[in-house]
Amino acid sequence: MAKIKVYNKIGFHCGPAGNHNGIGDYMRKLDAAGIPFVMKSVDHYGYIYEGLQYSNANHLYVYRMSAFGQPGDYNFDVPEYEIDPDEAAAKHWKHMMKHLPPEFDRRKVWLEPINEIDKNRSDWLGHFAAELGDIALKDGYKISQFAWSSGEPEPDHWETEGMLRYLKMCQDHPDQMSIALHEYSYDKNDIWRLRPELVGRFTQLFDICDKHGLKRPKVIMSEWGWTHRRVPSSRTAIDHIREVNELYARYPEILGAAIWYLGGGFDIADGAQKLIGPVTDFSLSYSTEVEPDVPKNTVGSTAATATRTATAAPAAPNVSLPGGAPIPSRTVAMETAPMAPAAAQPAAPTVVSNVAFVSDLTIPDDTEITAGTKFTKTWRIRNTGQTTWDANYKLAFVGGDPMGDQLAVSVPSAVPGQIVDVSVEMRAPSQKEGTVYGDWRMHTPEGVQFGDVIYVRIDVTPPLPVGGVNNAAFAADVTIPDDTVLELGKSFRKTWKVRNSGSKAWGANYKLGFVGGARMAAVDTVNLPPAAPGQTVEVSIDMRAPEIPGTHWADWRPQDELGNFFGEILYVRISVPQPEGQGRITPISQNDPRWKDTRLGDSGSDTTIGAWGCLLTTFTMIANSFGKELSPQDLNRQMVLKRLFLDHKATPWNALSSIYNDIIYEGRLEMRNTPNLTDRIDAALRSGNPVAVQVDYTPDSPYTPNDQHWVLIVGREASDYRINETWVYPAQEMSMRSRYGRAGQSLKKSIISAVFYRTTNPQPALPVVTGGVLSSAATATQAKVLQSGMNVNPDAPNSNPYQDDTFKGLDWVRFVYKVAAAPDPNDRTLRAAFQKYDAIIREYNKMGVRSLIILNQETVWGNAPWSGNNDWNSYADQLARTATQIARRYKSYGDKVAYEIWNEGDLPNNPASVYVPPQDFAVVLQKVSAAIRKEAPEAKIIFGGMASGPNHVIPYVQQVQTAAGGELPVDALGIHPYGRWGT
């Protein structure tokens, strides 16, 4: 057979935050050399988007959305096992499409729909994958499914009806369907640990395909590496990568593998980042020519399932149960001869033994335990079978590391359905570091395994080194004490005194490394001076103050020769003031040399930020005033990624709202159609919101569209506005009148239009001193802004768009808090209601929309006084108790959640509600409002919306007020002023 040339198949896994320094060079250099690279990313499409610009090789791109990286409560990692697989697939696809980045390239990028799912549901998952595959084929997407955890699934799980169905689809559609696996060794020093149970486990899948006469599917190792938290030294890592490539190269079906993980959240990003340079160099120099492995398409042959040649690993110890019956150990791959036909097995018993894992009572997964330390692992399990366990039933070790000499233990007696606890004494291995696991299973008296695999997984940390312990303690700030005031962009040198407080000397390769905060230095590490234990030394770093006013800090920490952090954090904290004569919003110029020549917009644009980027620059300043830290170049890049530019280069009015959930676009108004536009501007300033305004750049000549220019109004002084001018460099704040005013005319004549934004976070007011010819101070201060809202129905299709930005810009949504009237009887508990409404309130709040909650008979049915018993006093107590819990639940939202007590209770014979006599409603109103105010004093309370018209509403309210002792315990009245006619 002809040999094939294969390059390195192992690349990188990216994600939000973390440390990706150098990943752009990795892609650029490999593409320039015509060598494929691997780019997997979760919840951050930007790195894939960047990689798609390269086309000199057949690069591998994989994208996944996670439960932690997407809005809402939907679990993007795991499908809903409780419903039919076809229904679950349709639902999962709908959620993915709703949140998929608009720039996603379905032709080139593999979409990974699920992650680390339950291997014991393999048949259900196979049918789910097939249904999802049908949808993907129809919509033109490429999907890579399952992403099993390392060491999963078991070989027979591939042979379920559902799995074989999906493998057949992979055979028929190899360019659109593939398998995703995770291969970790769980040992940073041994990539072949338990080979091929972990790394190399894909061969079990290929054996099954060969056995059933199926073409082997394409496979992506969407997570690959050593452990979830550690990587080895660069030299060891490259040695391991080379060895694994020799295996993967023999299988053209293996498309690539992604080293875990450059993103944030797992404390591995800095370590993985150190591999980018070495992996880049290795990829540029490595290739191999191999004969591809030949499928053994001998359906039914025992040879087809023989394990491939692999490095031998120690087998699990043999353990005997009482009576001499052996406990089967987990199979460990060795070179084997074809298996002989199995002996006939006795008929299955009429009753079945089974067990289900319930919980870990001690040692949760990934608990850090020092090597050599003893511990007790206790599991809680349930007898889910038909047999009663006695002393002859055992929990026994079956795979991984036994972590001690105790290889089997008796379990407490348990009848079917009973829950018991079982414990094993263990010791963390002394010769291993990182993730170590052990698998245990229940065994019958005859030695037959049954039920869930019950495992222990720990993170073994090294013991204190014999040669001493690294430690460091802050001694003093030599320069730049805390809160030193420095000008924008000012260069400075920070020097600390630090003491070696450990028992080990610091050598030549010890460093001080950046760990977080503002990147004010051009480097991420500097050398630490050598220091004996107890010695104090000085270490310095050259830095530059940020260009944004405010308090800025950076954390640095010592590192040993292997890059491990130790000791106390050394930090620098400086204060950058506003330049003299400038407001709190820092001016930015479109003609700043750092970005003026940057292309404005996407690849079809013919202009630059310096030439045409005034509105982009104005929006950058607005975003910064709301807490972002952007340059026009940063905003330009984000808009390109989200494909927001119109006609390649035009900035849309709602650009910021399309990027940030907490920034609300309120509209654009033209002066010619809005006589009180300056009043609106003043009101926005008082609320802390700067305003982008379009001005006539040539005020001495008639206005034409070519004269348009955008600046930012940041304050008002009598008959003048203060603006941040976007054109001049260096950037500065200045007088609008002196820059764009016309002699003898109101400044209104200089404003063409204005764009308004606000944020969901409170802002300090901007300076406004009214007077002069712009507006009336009385009008501006007395104006009330009418708030807008929408009624929603969380139980009706398409009537509650809290998972998108349809209602972004509204002030309120209003809905009934249904507990007693929940459509599903199983959901008629307060706990179920919290699960349902928490997400609704949270997601609306994120987009600046507040929630008005209606409490009525659909919340609590109780003793139903309207049905004839008329015991409204008892009912008021019942509703008040529930209101207490609801108000307590949402107390943290302050005035962003309000409560309306009842709805249309003034209208007798109302089929949509329940009429409450005024004297009885007074009791309900008093008790429920008191309960709410006790728990959530900031929340507003509304008198239930009345619908009987003014002739009846007024007497009804008066009667309630009288019955309540002359005072209504509410903040506002709710009315429903529907029109009487449709025209």
Q: Look at residue 208 and give its three-state secondary structure.
A: helix
Q: Which CATH number fits domain 789-975: 3.20.20.10, 3.30.43.10, 3.40.190.10, 3.20.20.80?
A: 3.20.20.80
Q: What pLDDT does 1 receive?
A: 63
Cβ atoms of 291 and 7 within 8 Å: the answer is no
* pLDDT tens-digit readout, 537-584: 999 999 998 876 667 878 899 999 988 899 988 999 898 876 655 567
Q: DSSP states of 633-681 as a string?
A: HHHHHHHHHTT--BTTTBPPTTHHHHH-TTEEEEEEEEGGG-TTHHHHH
Q: Rounded to an integer, what is the distance from CA 717 to the centroid of its chain? A: 44
pLDDT tens string 488-513: 789 999 999 999 999 899 988 999 99
- Nearest residue to 377 via CA among 411, 420, 424, 438: 424
Q: CA 277 to CA 416: how far, in whole Å? A: 58
pLDDT of residue 305: 36
What residues have CB less than 8 Å from 336, skipping those under 6 apart? 306, 307
Beta strands 484-485 and 570-576: pairing type? parallel
Residue extents of the structural domains in the chain: 4-305, 351-461, 472-542+561-571, 609-782, 789-975
In whole angstroms, what is the distance from residue 891 CA to residue 883 CA?
12
Residues of the chain with pLDDT under 50: 298-349, 773, 775-784, 981-983
Q: What is the CATH number of domain 609-782?
A: 3.90.70.10
pLDDT value of residue 580 = 59
Residue-wise pLDDT tens digits, 713-765: 998 887 788 899 999 888 888 888 878 887 667 788 889 999 999 998 888 88
Query: At 892, phi and psi to the nearest 5?
Result: -65, -15
* Res 780: pLDDT: 34
310 touches 200 (CB < 8 A): yes
Q: What is the pLDDT of residue 437?
A: 84
Q: What is the pLDDT of residue 299?
A: 42
Task: Give the full edge-to-edge strand order of the sheet including 789-791.
Answer: 789-791, 812-816, 850-855, 897-903, 941-946, 972-975
Could you give phi then psi for residue 760, rounded to 5 degrees? -75, -10
**Span 351-461 CATH architecture:** Sandwich (2.60)
Angle value at C-alpha 116, between 113 and 122, nearest 5 degrees: 85
Please, are residues 754 and 692 in contact by the beta-carbon 8 Å criterion?
yes
Residue-level pLDDT at 761: 82
Question: Could you tell me which residues come within 8 angstroms of residue 393 by beta carbon, excluding any fewer than 6 positions away?
Answer: 353, 410, 411, 442, 443, 444, 445
CB 831 within 8 A of CB 838: no
pLDDT of residue 337: 33
Whole-number pLDDT of residue 843: 85
Cα 888 to chain centroid, rounded: 27
| Residue whose tokens read 């630090």 | 498
The full DSSP string for 336-391 is: -PPPPPPPPPPPPPSS---EEEEEESSS-TTEEEETT-EEEEEEEEEE-SSS-B-T
Burial of 777 (0-12, 13-18, 19+ CB in 10 A): middle
Per-residue pLDDT, 434: 79
Chain mean position to CA 437: 28
Residue among 758, 755, 586 at smallest CA distance from 661? 758
Output DSSP code: residue 414: B
Listing DSSP states for 674-709 in one string gives -TTHHHHHHHHHHTT--EEEEEES-TTS---GGGEE
552: left (phi over 0), alpha (psi -120 to 50) or beta: beta
Q: Residue 128 is inside which H or E element, if any?
A: helix 122-139
Q: Note the CATH number of domain 4-305.
A: 3.20.20
On whether the CB atoms of residues 135 and 93 are closer than 8 A, the answer is yes
d(CA 53, CA 31): 10
What does the buried/exposed string (b/e) look like for 552-561 if buried means 16 or more CB atoms within 10 Å of the residue's CB?
bebebbbbbe
Write out the E strands in 462-591: 472-477, 484-485, 491-500, 511-517, 525-527, 536-544, 550-559, 570-576
Return d(Cα 774, Cα 637) in angstroms, integer. Answer: 38
Q: 816 pairs with which residues across the strands?
A: 854
Closest to 803 in 3D by CA, of 813, 817, 818, 788: 813
Query: Among 258, 236, 262, which residue's Cα sits nearest to residue 248?
Result: 258
Chain centroid offset of residue 906 CA = 46
Please give the pLDDT value at position 701: 56
* C-alpha–C-alpha distance, residues 147 and 151, integer Å: 11
Do domains 351-461 and 609-782 share one topology? The answer is no
Task: Report the share of the chain in percent with pLDDT over 70.
Answer: 89
